Structures are given as structure tokens and as C-alpha cells.
Structure 1
Amino acid sequence: MLARANRIVRGDDYRTVVRRGRRSATAHVVVSVVRRSDGAPTRFGFIVAKTVGNAVTRNTVRRRLKAIAHDLLAGKPTDCDVVIRALPAAAQAAWPTLLGDVSRSFARGLEKAA
């Protein structure tokens, strides 16, 4: 589970990242990244819409994305906000596929935001 310091919890912060962030998309996710200059820890937010599936499916996808974000925290910069939006195909994606998509999108978003 992500610590509170590593989660985006305010709606305004979500909107800022989605509107101003550098976007990178794959078949399963869209990752938006915004660099911050305050040196605070990296924060993640997740958007899993009803188009992904029913409540059980959405929560499963969200838990998988949180686990991936937890893995990404090790060795990543400490000055960015990241919002991961799941696309409908994420519900059927295998773990290695989803992990690879999020990792690549996150890395591309960091490159664009730099």
C-alpha cells in the first residue's frame, strides 16, 4: 500500500496533473506526469472509470496499479506527481503487460516533463 505522502488525495491536484502533465499512453493506461520543484516525495493518483468494468473489476485494476506504483517508487525521482488512468483493456491485461506499460509510460512522461 502507498503511504499517504505518496498519494494524491485532493481533486485540484488530480486536475492539475491531468491538465498540465506530460501524457504518455499505451493500450492499457494513460500516464500523466508533472514535475514539482518543492522536493516533496513522488505522489501517485489513480483513475479507473466505469468503462473499465463493474465495481469488483475496477477495484482489482486499482489495486494492481497501486502495487505497480509501489514498485516504481524505488529509485525514482522525488519531485513529481503522477496520475495513472486505466483504460478498458486494463481489466484483461496480464500482470507483466500492465507492469511494462505503466513503467514505460512513466519513464516517457518523466523524459517529456524534464
Structure 2
Amino acid sequence: MLAHANRITSGSDYKAVVRRGVRVVGPHTVAYLRRTQEPAPVRFGFIVAKNVGGAVVRNRIRRRMKAASFDLLPGVPAGTEIVFRALPASVSASWPVLRAELSNALLTGQRGR
């Protein structure tokens, strides 16, 4: 589970990352990455809209993305903010496929600066 310091919690922070971040589109997710100037902890945010499915499905997808983010946390440079948006296709994605997609989005987003 991600610590509170590693989560984006305010709407304005989500908005800043989505608007000013580098966008990486995959078949199951869209990732937005933004580097901050100050040395802050890595922070993750997750967006799972109603078009993905019902509440149970959305919560399952969010938990899977959080678990994958926790695994990827040590490899992300400090001061990075990442928002993952789940697409409806993420419902049928297996765990290894979803984790690999999030990992590739982080690598691509870091190179795209």
C-alpha cells in the first residue's frame, strides 16, 4: 500500500499533473508525468471513471494500479508526480500486462522530457 506521502490527494494537484505533465497513452491506461522543482517524495494519483465499470470493478482496477505503483516506487526519481487514468480496456487486462504497461509508461515519460 502506498504511504500517504506518496499519494496525490487534492483536486488541484491532479489537475496540475494532468494539464502540465507529459502524457503517455497505452492500450489500457493513460499516464501523466510531471517533475517538480523541489525535492519531494514521488506521488501517485489514480483516476478510474464510471465508464470503466461499476463500483466493484473500478475499485479492483484502482487497487491493481496502486499495487503496481508500489512495486515501481523505488525506481522513480524523487520529485515526480504521476497520475494514471484507467481506460475501459483495463478491465480485461491481466496483472502482468497492466504492471508492464505502467512500467513502460514511467520509462517513456521520463525519457520524453
What's the TM-score, normalizing by structure 1?
A: 0.97
Q: Secondary structure at the match of 2:112?
A: helix
Match of 2:15 in 1: 15
Partner amino acid for 2:47?
I
Moved over 3 A (4+): none
Q: Does 1:93 align with 2:96?
A: no
Match of 1:33 in 2: 33
Q: Unaligned 5+ residue runs, structure 2?
A: none
Q: Secondary structure at the match of 2:32?
A: strand
Alpha-carbon offset, residue 79 of structure 1: 1.2
Alpha-carbon offset, residue 74 of structure 1: 1.3
Match of 1:58 in 2: 58
Q: Unaligned 5+ residue runs, structure 1?
A: none
Q: Among the aligned pairs, what percent are the same residue? A: 50
Match of 1:5 in 2: 5
Measured in 1, the distance between the counterparts of 2:103 and 2:73 equals: 11
Alpha-carbon offset, residue 56 of structure 1: 0.3
Measured in 2, the distance between the counterparts of 1:20 and 1:75 equals: 22
**Corresponding pairs, count:** 113
Match of 1:109 in 2: 109
Q: Secondary structure at the match of 2:40?
A: coil
